[in-house]
Structure 1
Amino acid sequence: MSTTQTSLTSSDAAPPTKPLRAIPGSYGFPFFSPIRDRLQYYYSQGRDNFFKTRVDQYKSTVFRTNMPPGPFMAKDPRVVCLLDAQSFQVLFDVSKVEKRDLFTGTYMPPTALTGGYRVCAYLDPSEPKHAMNKKLLFSLLHDRQPHFLPEFHDTFSKLFDGLDAAVAGEAKKADFNALNDVSSFEFCCRAYFGVDPASTSLGADGPKKVSKWLLFNLHPLMVLGLPKIVEEIFLHTFHLPPFLVKSDYKKIYDFFYSAAAKTLDRAESFGLDREEACHNLLFATCFNSYGGFKVFFPDIFQWLARAGEPLHKRLREEIRSVVKAEGGDGSITITALEKMELTKSVVYEALRIEPPVMFQYGRAKKDFVLESHDSSFEVKEGEMLFGFQPFATKDPKVFKDPETFVADRFVGEEGARLLRYVYWSNGRETDVPAEGNKQCPGKDFVVMVGRLLVAEFFMRYDSFEAEVGTVLLGAQVTITKLSRATG
């Protein structure tokens, strides 16, 4: 039985009219107030407390504030902040909000980082090239689907071998994140294009080059632990010069231009320029997929480590019994994955409690009324709406014990109903990605691969122990003990 509950009912699809309230909060003084808010967000208050103090101050989950990075880098830092599961959903409604150039928020990285092109992530669905690029990604995912499971097994078996060797070695521990960076990049390239990047001119440095490029895209959102004045000047006030990563990006691009040749042929048949399509495929693979797995996979293991042996026992029993019942050679199949209810729930819960994408933005296309759980607010055309996802997906009016990792939260009928409040993919988990919306085209692929990681691990191991810390964008997991499967 699921241990979750919700205070919302099936009538939420047509909620009653709620009291109209002016949106609380203030943007303060131009230039100075955004800098003050940025310093509070990164340093004096911290990210989560920045939002919590304002919720408490305004007695509202909807309010006005400034979002980093602020002056010089952002055209306009002013946002209407949405922090509950009800109001957050307006960010998926492309009839009400525009998504043009808002993928990273109130700032946009220089297009020099993407070959001079605005790639699909920064396009609004109203722009013709959005549908063309998304169609290309859908076709790639469809055609390569038969390769996903075997490529994952081969690639991550090497990761597990690395864990075994490190834990058995002198250090007696293994850096999961470091091994995951290598395996995730290799898997993405092999799964999508059938090419091992380490066997090409890109060599073994691919993950490092991509990580450097990711830093140049995301540094306005990061704190690296450097002296505050250094970070404020070089990370949060001005863009790092793209020429510093130009040669690395060129090597990555050349790899994709060769590895994705067949997909680029198809892109031209769709009416896309071959060069532009290559930059889009590079971005989708390196930013969306690899960048996501860099965060998502350690987060899964973080929560598995915290849960300990009782959950590990339940998972290994479910996974092994389902695989055995499927017959065959003992390998994991799509059919088997679909039957692993607890495994699926664990992955959904990881996506809920620690979503790999934390921010969503949209600019109001028109005047409309926005609703939270208990109030209505008038939004004016042109206003920027910002949703902080970890608050929306830990909404106490939707989820019982929202701050607690509940492994079986999404098991059963009640658990299935709660999936509509899992938003990691720029849409509800119950929604379907389409050319006309901004939901991640690889939504189902990501969930499937997350399940596959858990299933492959517990086919090989009975349990594990780990030390858990934090890094720039997620969890740092250091494996300290591995118990190999005994039967």
Structure 2
Amino acid sequence: MDELPLKEVPGDGSDAVGRWPHLDAVKDRLDFFWCQGEHDFWASRVEKYGSTVFRVNVPPSPPGFPASPVIMLLDQKSFPILFDNSKVDKKDVLLANYMPSLSFYGGIRPCIYLDPSEEQHTKVKTFIMDLIKSNANKWIPEIEKAASEIFAVWEDEMGKKNKSEVNSQCGQFAFNVLFRTIIGRDPGEPGKASLGDRGPFLMQAWLGPQLAPIASVGIPHVLEEPLLHSFPIPYITISYFHRQLVKFFETYATALLDKAENEYEINRDDALHNLIFALGFNAFGGLLIFLPSLLGFLGRADESVRQALVAEVRNAVESEGGEMSVVAVHSMGLVKSVVYEAFRMLPPVPYQYARAKEDLIIASHDARFEVKKGEILGGCQAFASRDPKVFEDPDTFIASRFTGEEGEKLLHYVLWSNGHSDQHASPHNKQCAAADFVPFLCQTFLACFFLRYDDFTTDKPSIHGNSITHTMTSLKLH
């Protein structure tokens, strides 16, 4: 690394007008959402600076937000500094220097906004990880049950319209699996705090205003810019929906709240709102984005890929006596590769941020850069995970990329979970608490799918801002 030239970080977050940083930030925001789009926004700046490390404004930005110059790290060599807790601080930087009102979280700072050095982080993350592990025997049955429910909906829609929208049912699947397994209650079961069939809607209503300033929903920009991107959306707009979620947890998660209080020494209110965040923001929000994309990639792949998946899944299940099991799922090498290739291509959480704890030297493939203490660092996972110096044909979905001994080594460079995919989450790091479990859930879901169907296809996705809708165009039952 010492042989690389030492350079100043190019860019200053004010390229457009120079002396007017607020106008520059607005121009960057318009480029990001409208004039260029997300991928071209990053690619154009890599080309402009001749560097994968540079300083730039990131959304949100003025008028209602502070200017947001961040040092972006867009290659596989520089990106991992974001995982090094000895060099970076993760306190309140989930969305760079923007943070939604704590009213969305009952007035507490959820675990995701805590740095690992904070004692509360260790307590809460240990609690969440233990919940995942303690329900190990329930995950496969609940995945099978919830999958069969949405398969029936897709088949009905295909019979009536010869097509079926994928996203909403994937959201329903994720919501049911998570709540039935962790809370131990069907969210739609009748009761005084039942969510009925509105659970996914309520959760998305709660999530939307938190993320609106950094996302695009695809409405005309003359409306989206002043309404969604210029000022934080106040909590009062969704307080009614949030209260219904809180009531559900207060009513039906009492055993978990008792456990958090008595065994983990977590304040009951902290435990409740961290559960909502973990199940809603982290798990449901991520799966709502990822599962439709996973099916979309496969539905547009060559038919031979789907045929190979069908054969692998059915042989693995048959070898286990016809039952879905942990052993069967873990033996499906191509299924695993497909899931991780989808994570590489389109990670559900595309950005990571951190603040430098000290003056640092950060190296890319081509140079070293000086970073000052307190500066915010950011990484675009989707861009870094397509680093051509690591991945051959990086912009192409290759189903078998992670199979075999050499493919397994490449898993190190899949960064979807705020950590390397061949490493593990811990209460003392910021890697996703479900970093091991989420791929297993997705692999099991695919196994259920290919046990039931011989083939399927999906149309080219419909893109509205950051919202991507996938449509199934054929579905062939086994």
**TM-score over 0.5 for the alignment?**
yes
Contact kept, 8 Å, 2:93 with 2:354, in 1: the verdict is yes
CA distance in 2, matches of 1:341, 1:471: 34
Contact 1:360/1:389, CA 8 A, preserved across alignment? yes
SS of corresponding position for 1:378: strand
Structure 2: which 5+ residue stretches go unaligned?
A: 15-19
* Aligned partner (choices 40, 53, 65) of residue 44 of structure 2: 53
Aligned to 1:65, the other structure's residue is in SS state strand
User: Secondary structure at 1:219's aligned position in 2?
Assistant: helix
Structure 1 pair 196/73, CA: closer, same or farther in 2 (3 Å)?
A: farther
**Cα distance between partner residues in 2 of 1:308 and 1:461:** 16
The whole-number CA distance in structure 2 between the counterparts of 1:213 and 1:184 is 16
Pick from 254, 271, 296: which aligns with 2:290? 296
In structure 1, distance between residues paired with 2:36 and 2:158: 38
Counterpart residue number, 2:335: 343
CA distance in 1, matches of 2:447, 2:220: 42
- Contact 2:71/2:376 (CA < 8 Å) preserved in 1? yes
**Which amino acid in structure 2 is aligned with residue 256 of structure 1?**
F
Q: Does 1:424 align with 2:410?
A: no
Residue 5 (structure 2) pairs with residue 19 (structure 1) = yes
Alpha-carbon distance between aligned partners in 1 of 2:458 and 2:36, rounded to the nearest angstrom: 29
Letter in structure 2 aligned against 1:449: L
Aligned to 1:192: 182
Call closer, same or farther: CA 1:315–1:273 in 2, change over 3 Å: same
Distance change >3 Å, CA 398–CA 474, structure 1 → 2: farther
- AA of the residue aligned to 2:48: Q
How many angstroms apart in 2 are the aligned matches of 1:451 and 1:340?
8
CA contact (8 A) 1:68 1:106 kept: no
Q: Structure 1 CA distance, aligned partners of 2:367 and 2:33?
A: 30
- Checking the alignment, whether the CA contact within 8 Å between 1:345 and 1:411 is kept in structure 2 is yes
Q: Which residue of structure 2 aligns with residue 163 of structure 1? A: 154
Once the 2 structures are TM-superposed, how far is the Cα of residue 166 of structure 1 from its aligned partner?
A: 0.8
* Secondary structure of the structure 2 residue equivalent to 1:385: strand
Residue number in structure 1 paired with 2:225: 232
1:465 to partner: Cα distance: 1.5
The 3-state SS of whatever aligns with 2:429 is coil
Residue 310 of structure 2: aligned partner: 316
What is the CA-CA distance between 1:73 and the residue it aligns to? 4.8
8 Å Cα contact 1:468/1:475 also seen in 2: no
Does residue 1:394 correspond to 2:380, yes or no?
no
Query: For residue 110 of structure 2, what is the aligned residue in structure 1?
Result: 119
Q: Which residue is 1:179 aligned to?
A: 169
CA-CA distance at 1:72 after TM superposition: 5.0
Shift of 1:474: 5.2
1:455 aligns with 2:452: no
What's 2:17 paired with? none
**What CA distance in whole angstroms lies between the structure 1 residues aligned with 2:260 and 2:464?**
37
**Aligned 8 A contact 2:21 2:67 in 1:** no
Partner of 2:75: 84
Q: CA RMSD in A?
A: 1.3
Give the Cα–Cα distance (whole angstroms) in 2 for the partners of residues 179 and 134 of structure 1.
Answer: 29
Distance 1:156 1:120 in 2: 30
Q: 2:87 aligns with which of 96, 104, 109?
A: 96
Q: What SS is found at the alignment partner of 2:422?
A: coil
* 1:197 counterpart SS class: coil
Alignment of structure 1 residues 88-487 onto 2, 5 Å? 88-169=79-160, 171-199=161-189, 200=191, 201-269=194-262, 270-327=264-321, 330-469=322-461, 470-471=463-464, 473=466, 475-485=468-478
> Residue by residue, what CA displacement relative to the aligned partner does 1:179-220 show, whole Å, maximum 9, x if unpaired?
122221111101212211011422111111111111111001
Q: Is the Cα–Cα contact under 8 Å of residues 105 and 359 in structure 1 kept in the other structure?
A: no
The residue identity in structure 1 corresponding to 2:301 is A
Q: Does structure 1 retain, via aligned residues, the 8 Å contact 2:424–2:436?
A: no
- Maintained 8 Å contact 2:218/2:466: no
Q: Deviations over 1:274-331 (max 9, x none)?
A: 111100000000111111110110010011011132111100111111111111xx22
- Provide the rounded CA distance (Å) in 2 between the counterparts of 1:202 and 1:216: 20
Residue 66 of structure 1 is matched in structure 2 by 57
% identity of equivalent residues: 40
Q: Is the 8 A contact 1:198 1:204 kept in 2?
A: yes
Q: Distance in 2 between matches of 1:316 and 1:243?
A: 48
Structure 1 contact 26–64 (Cα < 8 Å) conserved: yes
TM-score using structure 1 length: 0.94
- The answer to whether the 8 A contact 1:74-1:106 is kept is no
Q: Which moves more between the two structures, 313-322 or 177-186?
A: 177-186
- AA of the residue aligned to 1:281: L
**Deviation string, structure 1 residues 244-293 (Cα, Å, up to 9, x no partner):** 11111010011112222221111102111111110000000011111111
Q: Is the 8 A contact 1:351 1:422 kept in 2?
A: yes
**What is the aligned residue count?**
468
| DSSP-derived class of the 2:11 partner | coil
Other structure's SS at 1:414 match: helix
The CA distance in 1 between the partners of 2:13 and 2:158, in whole Å, is 52
In 2, the alpha carbon distance for the partners of 1:113 and 1:276 equals 13
Find the aligned partners of 2:403 and 2:184 in 1 and give their Cα distance.
35
Q: List runs of 5+ in structure 1 lacking aligned partners.
A: 1-14
How far 1:230 sits from its partner (Å)? 2.1
Tell me the secondary structure at the aligned position of residue 208 of structure 2: helix
TM-score by length of 2: 0.96
